[in-house]
């Protein structure tokens, strides 16, 4: 295949330029008008973004020290999952207009190797689900619950961050596994969503509780003990749940969003309430979506039909406007989203 000359694409790119100390805001990014032109080598394609993801992990990667990743470098386009369409191709695998999933970051146009994008079947499911229920958040929820949680019918599951992208799926997967499921989320509207739309057995608005003790008392009253705690938020909520775990409970650490805007750099003095793991001979396990990337098919084989038949709720909060990306990332920490937060461009 010959190298092709490209037409010029007027690009917009958000560069990550400054490490946040607390909350991530617009000042940590720089919006640049650039141009994508030049040549398209063999097997390269150009993708125009349509949906761009904002995810809490971005804030983890913005820390200065290593986490499960080296820190996101400064001075490059903010990395992110994207769904877009092919607008130029020098590959047999793609034609113009094909929908693809990629990791092209916060930019309108991206040139990449054909092997870096994955074709999407827009008839099988809404393409945006590749960034949500049929993408990384879905994979996290599925393998985190099924492999680390090992749910059994009749067990009691508590999910924190339950109205979000990962949490709302974990909660529904646990219901389908025959568990009693309780969700913890911020605000009455989200709690109503958990009970009325997701049909959970109960929901708890953590914002109504000022102390760990009060929240903990409500959790025990509601659940009568917890077999599986799927944790997305950490902090006071986790402190309130752990003393209520039952014998052989499984605690799954998926995320700790309450700690991302500073708390990861200055964590609590030590692990709190871990004595309860001793008392209950429980296990605690961290899980990471990328560890299951190669097993994505296992999950989609089961979950895609549920999506197709609308047997599960895959709520999306969609914000329009490329310029809104930093604002949207920040809004995750204010709980403005229900389900998966996406920016449509």
Chain-centroid distance of CA 243 in Å reads 27
What gap in Å lies between CA 104 and CA 120, rounded to an integer? 15
Q: Which is nearer to ligand NAP, 61 or 91 (CB)?
A: 61
By the criterion CB under 6 A, which residues form the site for ligand NAP? 55-57, 137, 140, 161, 163-167, 185-187, 190, 232-233, 235, 237, 254-258, 287-289, 332-333, 335, 337, 341
Q: Which is nearer to ligand NAP, 85 or 140 (CB)?
A: 140
CB count within 10 Å of CB 341 equals 23
Q: How far is the CB of 284 from ligand NAP (least distance, A)?
A: 14
What gap in Å lies between CA 194 and CA 40, rounded to an integer? 48
Helix 296-308 and helix 136-143, axial crossing angle in degrees, nearest 10? 110
Q: How far is the CB of 132 from ligand NAP (least distance, A)?
A: 9
Q: Which is nearer to ligand NAP, 224 or 285 (CB)?
A: 285
Q: Which is nearer to ligand NAP, 186 or 202 (CB)?
A: 186
Q: How far is the CB of 111 from ligand NAP (least distance, A)?
A: 27
DSSP 180-196: EEEEEESSHHHHHIIII
Q: Which is nearer to ligand NAP, 56 or 243 (CB)?
A: 56
Q: How far is the CB of 127 from ligand NAP (least distance, A)?
A: 18
Q: How far is the CB of 183 from ligand NAP (least distance, A)?
A: 9
Q: How far is the CB of 115 from ligand NAP (least distance, A)?
A: 23
Instruction: Give the three-class secondary structure for 308.
Output: helix
CB count within 10 Å of CB 29 equals 21
Helix 165-176 and helix 136-143, axial crossing angle in degrees, nearest 10? 40
269 Cβ partners below 8 Å, 6+ apart? none
Relative to beta strand 29-36, strand 76-77 is unpaired
Q: How far is the CB of 48 from ligand NAP (least distance, A)?
A: 24
Chain-centroid distance of CA 225 in Å reads 27
Residue with tokens 């805007």: 261
Q: Which is nearer to ligand NAP, 221 or 290 (CB)?
A: 290
Q: How far is the CB of 12 from ligand NAP (least distance, A)?
A: 24
Q: Which is nearer to ligand NAP, 48 or 175 (CB)?
A: 175
Q: Which is nearer to ligand NAP, 86 or 157 (CB)?
A: 157
**Using CA of residue 217, residue 222, residue 225, residue 228, what is the dihedral sign?**
negative
DSSP β-bridge partners for residue 156: 180
């Amino acid at each position: 295949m010959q190298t092709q000359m490209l037409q010029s694409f007027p690009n917009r790119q958000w560069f990550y330029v400054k490490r946040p100390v607390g909350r991530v805001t617009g000042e940590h990014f720089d919006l640049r008008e650039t141009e994508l032109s030049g040549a398209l080598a063999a097997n390269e394609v150009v993708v125009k973004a349509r949906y761009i993801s904002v995810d809490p992990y971005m804030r983890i990667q913005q820390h200065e020290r290593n986490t499960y990743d080296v820190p996101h470098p400064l001075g490059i386009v903010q990395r992110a999952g994207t769904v877009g369409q092919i607008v130029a191709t020098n590959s047999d695998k793609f034609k113009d207009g094909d929908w693809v999933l990629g990791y092209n970051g916060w930019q309108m146009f991206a040139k990449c190797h054909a092997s870096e994008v994955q074709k999407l079947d827009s008839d099988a499911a809404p393409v945006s689900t590749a960034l949500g229920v049929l993408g990384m958040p879905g994979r996290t929820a599925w393998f985190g619950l099924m492999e680390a949680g090992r749910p059994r019918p009749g067990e009691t599951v508590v999910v924190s961050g339950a109205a979000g992208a990962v949490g709302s799926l974990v909660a529904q997967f646990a219901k389908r596994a025959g568990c009693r499921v309780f969700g913890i989320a911020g605000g009455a509207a989200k709690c109503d969503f958990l009970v009325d739309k997701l049909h959970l057995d109960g929901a708890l608005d953590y914002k109504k509780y000022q102390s760990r003790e009060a929240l903990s008392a409500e959790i025990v009253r509601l659940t009568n003990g917890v077999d599986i705690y799927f944790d997305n938020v950490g902090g006071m909520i986790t402190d309130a749940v752990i003393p209520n775990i039952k014998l052989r409970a499984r605690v799954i650490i998926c995320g700790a969003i309450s700690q991302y805007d500073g708390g990861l750099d200055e964590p609590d003095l030590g692990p709190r309430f871990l004595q309860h793991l001793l008392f209950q001979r429980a296990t605690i396990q961290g899980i990471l979506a990328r560890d299951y990337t190669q097993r994505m098919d296992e999950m989609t084989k089961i979950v895609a039909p549920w999506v197709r038949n609308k047997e599960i709720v895959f709520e999306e909060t969609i914000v329009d406007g490329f310029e809104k990306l930093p604002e949207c990332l920040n809004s995750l920490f204010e709980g403005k989203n229900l389900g998966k937060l996406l920016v449509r461009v």
